[in-house]
Amino acid sequence: MTGTTRSSNGLDDRRKRLLFRCWHRGTREMDLILGRFADAEIGNLSDDELTELETLLEESDPDLYAAITGDKVLPAHVTGPLFARIKAFPITDGDL
């Protein structure tokens, strides 16, 4: 699986844009991590969580991947509660 399984129908423009950005990061690993999380959660995120996701998406793929795998620490303004949820989100089909 390499692409979204969720339709953007019914999402507001901000959520549609974030869903697209999560699936089009530039590295397959981050597409799968963020894209799968967005597929599952984008419709339920609060405005504050959407803002946190937007901030997180400003980080480079190598830095973000290193932070998710525990090899790097990102600044506190980036690694809030949503980052912890993304980091704990299960990868189920072994693509990584």
Selection from 5, 23, 2, 21 nearest residue 13 by Cα: 21
Q: What is the mean pLDDT of the chain?
A: 89
Structural domain boundaries in the chain:
13-88
What pLDDT digit, counting tens, does each position of 6-17 carry? 777 789 999 999
The domain 13-88 is classified under which CATH number: 1.10.150.250, 3.40.50.10800, 1.10.4160.10, 3.30.465.10? 1.10.150.250
**Reported pTM:** 0.86
Indicate the DSSP class of residue 42.
Answer: G
| Ramachandran area for residue 21 (φ above 0: left; ψ -120 to 50: alpha; else beta) | alpha
- Is it the case that residue 43 has pLDDT exceeding 80? yes
Residue 89: burial class (beta carbons within 10 Å; 0-12, 13-18, 19+): middle
